[in-house]
């Protein structure tokens, strides 16, 4: 019996030892990936001083926003052995999308899984650091920018890449936000194939909606356009009638749904119209206001504004570049964001070559 008890105790010690080793390995792996989070409160002692000094070391580039555009930029810069810090809040625009489509090699994968894999791949580049923090302010000029984070830490860089994206502004319509990303979507290239042949609805938001109505014919012959209180010009109404696309007047007052899956679009006129999927382009606004404090030039879009960039993705302020939905006036997508991010990283790196 004593031998059996000893074996049991030894087994528990071994199991605890293995658990500790596993936790240590996990901590080491996370450290290797470069994901760090600044402490919420300052700590006294030498370690705090060392950490603050390290964080204020000059970077080649600080990337503000670590979704598809930001990580693509970091990859190019890391491969050029440039010192990069990526600041990210962990709230990408497609957070509510179950799958991402149209990205070569990653089609029909959950977007958060693609981003997680991307972060793991960046771990092999020792000059890339990923930090979970929000950039609160930016100051300085080319070759010496300073970024202050929500944690009260500051970091310096020669160049900046803004890739913090835009946020969709949900209208005050019951059921709309609950259905967003599931059965209310903005892009046929992102979600059209999976619902091809079904009854589509389209919410009119601008003259661009007319182009969408014509475009949707490649996916479905059953389309209903909701005017949603807008006055659609007579010539466009005539064209829609010629295409057998019915126009339903009246303001949308409710989206009837079951767990995000739309049942009917309910109108102020009392009419309820059943559709399988609803395409809509709500207003958007940049996810942060750093561009305003920097005085960066913007350009209008049918649903908001985006940053103005030149052919090398540089904004109106020298040394600051932009990529992704924050700087995409037409058809923002994961593919576009990744491409723009890669080019922003390359152009930022080339601008530092002497």
Euclidean distance between CA atoms 248 and 267, whole angstroms: 9
Euclidean distance between CA atoms 172 and 139, whole angstroms: 36
In which band, very low, low, confident or very high, does the pLDDT at 354 lie, cut at 50, 70 and 90? confident
Q: What mean pLDDT is predicted for residues 307-313?
A: 98
Q: Write down all domains in the chain, each with its CATH number in brackets.
A: 46-168+283-351 (3.50.50.60), 176-279 (3.50.50.60)
Task: Give the pLDDT of residue 56.
Answer: 59
Task: Give the pLDDT of residue 95.
Answer: 80
> What Rg value do the Cα atoms of the chain yield, rounded?
25
Q: Burial level of 273, CB count in 10 A (0-12/13-18/19+)?
A: middle
Flag the least confident range among 27-41, 71-85, 278-292: 27-41
Task: Give the pLDDT of residue 93.
Answer: 86
In which band, very low, low, confident or very high, does the pLDDT at 209 lie, cut at 50, 70 and 90? very high
3-state secondary structure 254-316: EEEEECCEEEEEEECCCCEEECCEEECCCCEEECCCHHHHHCCCEEEECCEEEECCCCCCECC
Residue 265 pairs with which residues in a beta bridge? 255, 273
> Does the pLDDT value for residue 37 go beyond 90?
no
Chain segment 169-185, per-residue pLDDT in tens: 999 999 999 999 999 99
Chain segment 150-165, per-residue pLDDT in tens: 999 999 999 999 999 9
> Does the pLDDT value for residue 33 go beyond 90?
no
Burial of 208-228, coded b for 16+ CB within 10 Å and e otherwise, reads ebbebbeebeebbeebbbbbb
Q: Are 203 and 251 in contact (CB under 8 A)?
A: no
């Amino acid at each position: 019996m004593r031998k059996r008890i000893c074996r049991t105790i030894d087994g528990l010690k071994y199991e605890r030892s293995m658990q500790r080793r596993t936790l240590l390995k996990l901590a080491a792996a996370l450290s290797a990936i470069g994901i760090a989070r600044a402490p919420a409160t300052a700590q006294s002692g030498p370690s705090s001083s060392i950490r603050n000094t390290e964080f204020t070391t000059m970077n080649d580039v600080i990337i503000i926003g670590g979704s598809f555009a930001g990580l693509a930029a970091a990859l190019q810069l890391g491969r050029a052995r440039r010192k990069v810090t990526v600041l990210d809040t962990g709230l990408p625009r497609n957070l509510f999308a179950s799958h991402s489509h149209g990205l070569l090699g990653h089609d029909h994968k959950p977007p958060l899984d693609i981003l997680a894999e991307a972060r793991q791949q960046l771990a092999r580049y020792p000059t890339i650091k990923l930090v979970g923090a929000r950039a609160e302010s930016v100051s300085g000029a080319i070759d010496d920018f300073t970024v202050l984070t929500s944690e009260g830490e500051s970091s310096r860089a020669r160049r900046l890449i803004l890739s913090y994206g835009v946020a969709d502004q949900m209208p005050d319509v019951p059921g709309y936000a609950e259905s967003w990303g599931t059965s209310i979507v903005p892009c046929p290239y992102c979600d059209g194939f999976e619902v091809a042949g079904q009854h589509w609805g389209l919410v009119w938001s601008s003259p661009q909606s007319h182009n969408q109505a014509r475009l949707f014919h490649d996916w479905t012959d059953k389309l209903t356009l909701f005017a949603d209180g807008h006055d659609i010009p007579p010539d466009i109404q005539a064209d829609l009638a010629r295409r057998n696309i019915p126009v339903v007047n009246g303001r949308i007052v409710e989206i009837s749904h079951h767990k995000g899956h739309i049942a009917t679009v309910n109108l102020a006129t009392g009419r309820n119209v059943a559709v399988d999927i609803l395409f809509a382009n709500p207003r958007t606004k940049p996810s942060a206001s750093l561009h305003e404090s920097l005085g960066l030039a913007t350009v209008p879009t049918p649903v908001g504004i985006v940053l103005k960039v030149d052919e090398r993705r540089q904004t109106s302020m020298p040394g600051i570049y932009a990529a992704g939905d924050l700087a995409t006036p037409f058809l923002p997508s994961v593919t576009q964001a990744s491409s723009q991010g890669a080019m922003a990283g390359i152009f930022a790196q080339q601008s530092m070559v002497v």
